[in-house]
Amino acid sequence: MTRQTKQTAPQQDRLVTLLIRLSGYSSILLVTLIFIFLMKEGLPALADVGIGELFTDRWYPIEGYFGILPLISGSLIVTLGAMLVSVPLGVGTAIYLSEVAPSSTREVVKPLVEVLAGLPSVVLGFLGIIAAAPLLRRLLDLPTGLTAFAGALLLGLIAIPTIVSIAEDALNTVPAAYRQAALAVGATPWQTIWGVTLPAARSGVLTAVMLGMGRALGETMAVMMVTGNAPTLPHGLDALFMPVRTMTATIASEMGEVATGSAHYQVLFLIGIVLFLFSLVVNVLASSVSFRQRKRAERLLS
């Protein structure tokens, strides 16, 4: 023990603790860095292009038209369409898995939903082009199958795993005593689900829906491949069956061709800022909802 090159345990502890602490704080640093870089590259667009110009309905960058309204509306149409698909299917499946399904069925359904969560979106986009779009075109008698509708269907599928897993968690955390009490006063299992369990889990289910929406809004490849890439402002309800272009798809398809630092480049980063802020709002809201739910459950059970 004369040559003390090896550190003593407490010394080693201090060093490791420091490294671990730094790693722990890294996520704050990263979110801040991401925000700073988006702002640094995107904010100049407000001055160079002008806010008034940005909120117009014409996106035609080659001729200097940078109206992002068609892109925002494209994202909204596709996302809302996707929610019409994924909320009933996702929440229904979560209720089935948590309250009804025998464990043998659960063992089949849950891994399949996990498979869907793992399917790369580019694979679904490929299937959208090669199988879904031609089918939709024939069924609905449209000039092209590559429409907001096709995008909404695919996105609905993509958002399902998020909704199922979080909503199921929420239902599982409803104390068994709630269900037992409902059954004991004479409710049927269905009345218990509908009148007691689901309302008790509603904030968690709401979180699931919001995070699913965030997932759909941020999805890029599948949407870019099947929505037909037409940055036009929709008029009326039939917009669902016309080609659109989302914010994410615009960044993905145009970023590769722009000159670094050009107005077009800045506007694409500005769209990135819009997406970042959207997801920030959705996620902070979702996490505050589930936080409050936990507080209430603690209060009720204490």
Partner 1 sequence: MNERPMMLSSVNRQGLTPRRVQQLGYGLLRLISLITVLPIFLVVVYIVVRGVPSIDWEFLTAMPREGMRAGGILPAIIGTVYLTLGTAVFAVPLGVAAGVYIAEYAADNAWTRLIRIAIINLAGIPSVVYGLFGFGLFVIFLGFGTSILAASLTLAIMTLPVIISTTEEALRSVPQSFRVVSISLGATRWQTIWRVVLPQALPGILTGVILGLERAAGETAPILFTGAAFFLPRLPQSPLDATMALPYHIFVISTQVPGMPVQIQFGTVLVLLVFVLGMNLVATLIRSRARARREW
Contacting partner 1 within 91-130 (CB under 8 A): 92-93, 95-97, 100-101, 108-109, 111-116, 118-127, 129-130
Q: How far is CA 277 from the centre of its chain?
A: 13
> Is there a contact between 228 and 244 (Cβ–Cβ < 8 Å)?
yes
**Smallest distance, partner 1 to C-beta of residue 88, A:** 7
Pick the closest to residue 71 from 270, 283, 282 (CA basis): 270
Closest CB to partner 1 among 4 and 23? 23
Backbone angles phi, psi at 172, to 5 degrees: -65, -25
Per-residue binding letters, 230-259, with partner 1 (x by CB under 8 A): ------------------x--xx--xx---
Q: Which of 7, 16, 180, 199 is in the footprint of partner 1 by CB under 8 A?
A: 16
**Smallest distance, partner 1 to C-beta of residue 236, A:** 28
Q: Is 207 in the site for partner 1 (CB under 8 A)?
A: no
DSSP-assigned letter for residue 275: H
Q: Reduced to 3 states, what is the DSSP secondary structure of residue 147? A: coil
> Could you give the count of Cα atoms lying within 13 Å of 230 in the half-sphere of its Cβ?
17
Question: 216: which 2 tokens?
Answer: 């759909």
Q: Is 164 in the site for partner 1 (CB under 8 A)?
A: yes
Q: How far apart are the first and last CA of the chain?
A: 55
Q: Which of 53, 66, 204, 219 is in the footprint of partner 1 by CB under 8 A?
A: 219
Q: Is 21 in the site for partner 1 (CB under 8 A)?
A: yes
Q: Which of 46, 54, 76, 221 is in the footprint of partner 1 by CB under 8 A?
A: 221
Site for partner 1, residues 44 to 73, rule: CB under 8 A: none
What CA–CA distance (Å, rounded) separates 164 from 159? 9
